[in-house]
Homo-oligomer: A and B are copies of this chain.
Amino acid sequence: MSKESLLPLLARHVLAHGLGQASLRPLAKAAGTSDRMLIYHFGTKEALLADLLGFVAGTYAQALDAALGGERAGTRGQALARILAHAQSEAMQPFMALWWEIVAGAARGLTGFALAAQAIMSELLGWLETQMPERDPDPRGGARYLLALIEGTLMLDAVGHGETAREGLLASGLSPA
């Protein structure tokens, strides 16, 4: 079992159970090894977590490319709707739960978390920029504006204020009225 072949299994466990419960022995069982081997491969739990978060960020990038093909949106509102539908889909729910744990770690200054979070946000921002309407007057600023709005919406979703977010988007003038 190589390091690389372990990462997907570890990620699966973390997506399902969260980072808080991610201790070596359960992780090892989920990956079909022993804690001894995890330490052997990664050296330290901290290093394991850093590698794991990097892997998750990479997986997210792939999922984004796969799910949201290339053609440009007609309006900012369409780009917004498209990405919200993706993030709110059933399949992305485990990732979203993990995402807020990554944000919390980044806010506490944990380096591995901050790096993964920045990578994921950069990925999403890059995708948003390619999605901006063809003759948008300010694609760069617009993409960043949408990014803030999207993340705020997803956060409100996560804490049970989804309806609040929906009304906010309606009032933003972006939604297809």
Question: What are 16 contact pairs spanning A and B, CB under 8 A?
Answer: A20-B108, A96-B107, A97-B108, A100-B100, A101-B107, A101-B108, A103-B103, A103-B104, A114-B160, A117-B160, A121-B164, A141-B167, A145-B169, A148-B156, A151-B152, A152-B155
B156 and A151: CB pair below 8 A?
A: yes
Q: Tell me the smallest distance from the CB of A55 to a CB of chain B, in Å.
A: 18
A16 and B101 CA atoms in complex are apart in Å by 18
Q: Tell me the smallest distance from the CB of A101 to a CB of chain B, in Å.
A: 4
Residue of B nearest to A93 (CB): B107
| Residues of B contacting A165 in the complex (Cβ-Cβ under 8 angstroms) | 144, 147-148
Residue of B nearest to A161 (CB): B121
A168 and B145 CA atoms in complex are apart in Å by 4
A104 and B100: CB pair below 8 A?
A: yes
A2 and B46 CA atoms in complex are apart in Å by 39
Q: Does A63 contact B (CB under 8 A)?
A: no
Q: Does A18 contact B (CB under 8 A)?
A: yes
Q: Tell me the smallest distance from the CB of A177 to a CB of chain B, in Å.
A: 12
